[in-house]
């Protein structure tokens, strides 16, 4: 059953990979721009990006400039979409594995 789930998960991820990669590129791009505005190092910018995008919270770093805060909103919304997409793909893979197991 586990093997069927992972096979179905990989198949589902292949289908939505262009969307997932676009969301990740948007998040990373916005994070690097925020880092440039706030004079953060690249590792701090990426850390901020994924903490903000995956937990919807600023965490250790918080942008001070208005433009950086607006870009942080974009990262937050992209993180919500990414989380929903991963959950949907996982559920679909579970359904496919259960359907194949029942046959």
> Domain ranges in the chain?
2-102
CATH topology of domain 2-102: Helix Hairpins (1.10.287)
Please tell me the predicted confidence (pLDDT) of residue 103: 64
Which residues of the chain are modeled with pLDDT < 70? 102-103
Q: Which of 101, 100, 76, 90 is nearest to 6 (CA)?
A: 90
CA angle 79, 55, 44 (to 5 degrees): 90
Q: Is the dihedral of CA 44, 32, 57, 20 positive or negative?
A: negative
Residue 60 carries which DSSP code? T
To 10 degrees, the CA torsion angle through 50, 51, 57, 59?
-140
Q: Tell me what pLDDT residue 78 has.
A: 96
Tell me the per-residue pLDDT of 41-57, one tens digit each, with 9 for 90 and over: 999 999 999 999 998 77
Residue 62 DSSP one-character state:
-
Predicted local confidence at residue 60, as pLDDT: 84
| Backbone phi and psi for residue 9, each to the nearest 5 degrees, phi listed first | -65, -45
């Amino acid at each position: 059953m586990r093997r069927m789930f992972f096979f179905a998960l990989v198949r589902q991820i292949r289908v939505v990979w262009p969307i997932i990669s676009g969301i990740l590129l948007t998040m990373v791009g916005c994070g690097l721009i925020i880092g440039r505005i706030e004079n953060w190092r690249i590792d701090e910018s990426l850390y901020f990006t994924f903490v903000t995008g995956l937990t919807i919270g600023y965490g250790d770093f918080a942008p001070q400039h208005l433009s950086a805060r607006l870009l942080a909103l974009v990262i937050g919304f992209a993180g919500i979409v990414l989380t929903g997409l991963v959950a949907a793909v996982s559920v679909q893979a579970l359904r496919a594995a259960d359907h194949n197991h029942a046959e």
